[in-house]
Amino acid sequence: MKKAAKFLGYAALLAGIIYIVYSVFMSAVIEDPKPETSHIITKRIKNISEGTSFDIVFTDLQGDHYYINRGLERGLNLDSLNAKVLNKTVTLHLAKVFGGLATSEHISQLSVNDAIIFTEFK
């Protein structure tokens, strides 16, 4: 009887750990970003490049990187972005993750002055 109780205790502990790990990973997934839950910053962009998985990566003057997830697949063009964004100050709406506790480098909206260049907002 003691072995069965011990086994059930370990099984419950393992299930709890799996649930916690799953919850942490799922809270980092960015789904349906909204303006009111974004972190808004302004940055001057010094470089635009293609990243992995068709991402578009923007580098600011301090060397920080921000990206548009699968931007090339979404119809954005590096030459056009270079003309519109390079060496300009942009406003970035960055998605929050982990229940709003952390800000990601994922760009939900990119604008120059009041012109929206890219948005995920509906």
pLDDT at 22: 58
Average the pLDDT over 21-28 and give the result: 54
CA-closest candidate to residue 42, choices 81, 91, 85? 91
For residues 64 and 42, the answer to whether their CB atoms sit within 8 Å is no
Q: Does pTM top 0.85 for this prediction?
A: no
pLDDT at 43: 98
SS3 19: helix
Q: What residue type is assigned to position 102 of the chain? A: A
Please determine, for residue 80, whether its predicted confidence score (pLDDT) is greater than 90: yes
CA separation for the pair 85, 51 (Å, rounded): 17
Please determine, for residue 106, whether its predicted confidence score (pLDDT) is greater than 70: yes
Average the pLDDT over 77-93 and give the result: 97
